[in-house]
Amino acid sequence: MLSQPFLAYGRQSIDQTDIDHVIEALKSDFLTTGPWVERFERELAAYVGAKEAVVVANGTAALHLAMLALGVGPSDVIIVPSITFVASANCAAFCGAKVVFADVDPQTGLMTDETFEDALKIVQRDYSELRFAGVVPVHYAGRPVALDQIAGRCAELDAFVVEDACHALGTVDKGVMTGACQYSDMAVFSFHPVKTLTTGEGGAIMTNDSELARKLRSLRSHGLERDPTRFTGLGFGDDRDSGGWVYEMQALGYNYRLPDLNCALGVSQLSKMPHFAARRRRLVELYQAALASARLPVSWAPPMPDSDPVFHLMAVQIDYQSLGKTRTEIMFELKAGGVGTQVHYIPVHRQPYWQQHALAQRNLPGADTYYSQTLSLPLYPDMTDNDPAAVIAILKEVCGL
């Protein structure tokens, strides 16, 4: 059993620099929307190579605003992979749109060109009365989805691509940073504490379209417009209200703003992204080495040669049947040994709400297979180089091998 403190499957990495940034924000004139918001947006955009970053309250809010900015509505249908967090699909439902779930590769949990095309054929064949509006590919665990072919098909059909990159900050694919929106209209990040960097809660939408960014900023703040050159008229019949206090509500927006306090933490965390990325890559390499020598019924698909992921999850596949133990038994015994684990995710098409509301109800064998075998092991930057081997050792002991 492990002698060191309990290893959670994921956790934040906070140091004195982060604390000092938050204290500086606390001592400033702004606690909500102020200069730290603009700075975090500017530095985040520069880091990933996108023209615009719009920070918001959380990753779910980011997905919702992306759909709103694109005008998604009840006559639209969106394709979403089934292995993801529920928010990837819920964002379409928030706007009244329909969802068709795509299957995934049973080894990686990623939507593929083939599973996307299968879902698209169903949309075109069975739901021609609806507009195929777009797709939300999910870079699950930090692995990048190959987007060139999917984006090409969407361009042919005048449909959008919104990358759910909540797991993939720092990931590079074919030499391009995830979030640069090379093949997409927008990409969405999450800054929850277990993600690659944290703002406490928080999220961001990346885009290279300045008009989309303007819409996003308005929608995150009640749909308000404060630029007089864009006013449409308040209906007073004169111009007596033309001072700096004047605003117009031009759309039904939300209070999805990210406060200065959170953005101050984000600026500090972003400065450490090279370290965070290097640690996660190193720990994954150590896990690979430990698994290779352990001779366990555990598999983990290596990244594609032209990608360099920053993994958010160390999600392995375990043949529980061959072990004669259930996943629940394995997880409880690992916890007793000081190792925290989690399951990512229950296929969304299996959730009761989506069984009632998703279009094209059908079996998705890749998603079901992936879910039946997956288990997320501890992975976060503050782990030591000895931890991956120790985790695999206790896993081997728990498996009785």
- Residues 174, 195, 335, 396: which is the catalytic one? 195
Alpha-carbon span 7 to 155, nearest angstrom: 45
Which residues are CB-contacts of 380 (< 8 A; sequence separation ≥ 6)? 8, 10, 11, 12, 13, 194, 280
Cβ atoms 168, 139 nearer than 8 A: yes
3-class secondary-structure state, position 36: helix
Question: Mind giving me the DSSP string for 357-396?
Answer: H-BS----HHHHHHHHHEEEEP--TTS-TTHHHHHHHHHH
Q: Tell me the C-alpha to C-alpha distance, in Å, between residue 31 and each of 17, 28, 42, 360.
A: 18, 7, 19, 46
Name the token pair of 397.
């002991």
Q: Which of 154, 142, 150 is nearest to 179 (CA)?
A: 142
Please name which of 254, 242, 399 lies closest in space to residue 325, comparing C-alpha atoms: 399
Phi, psi for residue 257 in degrees, rounded to 5: -75, 150
- Which of the 8 DSSP states describes residue 312? S
**Are 159 and 135 within 8 A, CB to CB?**
yes
Examine the residue annotation and report whether 51 is marked as an active-site residue of this protein.
Answer: no
Instruction: Give me the DSSP letters along 232-282.
Output: ---SSSSSS--STT--EE-S---B----HHHHHHHHHHHHTHHHHHHHHHH
Q: Which residues are catalytic?
A: 195
